[in-house]
Amino acid sequence: MTWDREEKASAYYALVILPRAAVKNIGFVSGDDGFTHTNIEKWLWYNDRPYEPMTEQKQLQIDYDAMWQTITVDSRAYNLSKGNLFVIRFDEGWKPAVTQLGVTINWDAAHEDIINAFKSVLPEDKLIQGLP
């Protein structure tokens, strides 16, 4: 996810890793007031319990504050001066764990450069190393 302002300043990049589950992306909601920006990604989760099948909507909300140069995920703020690259992993209970990587990627970085940045910072992570 990125938010590009008119002057092409990407605030952050987040790689979101969902739990092993049957999910369907059902879109996102996005909005801003000039100083803050909110992005909400939404999924439908299908549990695989044989006696209790259920579908539930899950979401991830990221709030960007341009004034304070922070993003907030799950009520915790992260200062972008410490890096604008994030890995957000959901556990089986859909609780996000955020890792802020000490890397800053510019707005004009190519997609493959962004993926390579994740790979170079997390060389032991097989899932990230397997990204195309």
Whether 1 is in a domain gets the answer: no
Whether 85 is in a domain gets the answer: yes
Tell me the pLDDT of the chain (132 aa) as tens digits.
Answer: 444 444 444 589 999 999 887 888 998 999 988 889 999 999 998 877 666 667 889 999 999 999 999 999 999 999 999 999 999 999 988 999 999 999 999 878 899 999 999 999 999 999 999 998
Whether 39 is in a domain gets the answer: yes
Whether 117 is in a domain gets the answer: yes
Whether 81 is in a domain gets the answer: yes
Whether 95 is in a domain gets the answer: yes
pTM summary value: 0.84
**What are the φ/ψ torsions at residue 51 (nearest 5 degrees)?**
-100, -5
Domain containing residue 111: 13-127
DSSP structure string for 74-99: TTEEEEGGG-SEEEEEE-TT--EEEE
Note whether 47 and 23 are within 8 A (CB).
no
Whether 69 is in a domain gets the answer: yes
CA distance 26 to 130: 25
Give the HSE-up count for residue 53: Cα atoms under 13 Å, Cβ half-sphere. 3
Whether 4 is in a domain gets the answer: no
Tokens of 2: 């990125």
Specify the DSSP class assigned to residue 126: H
What's the number of domains the chain is made of?
Answer: 1
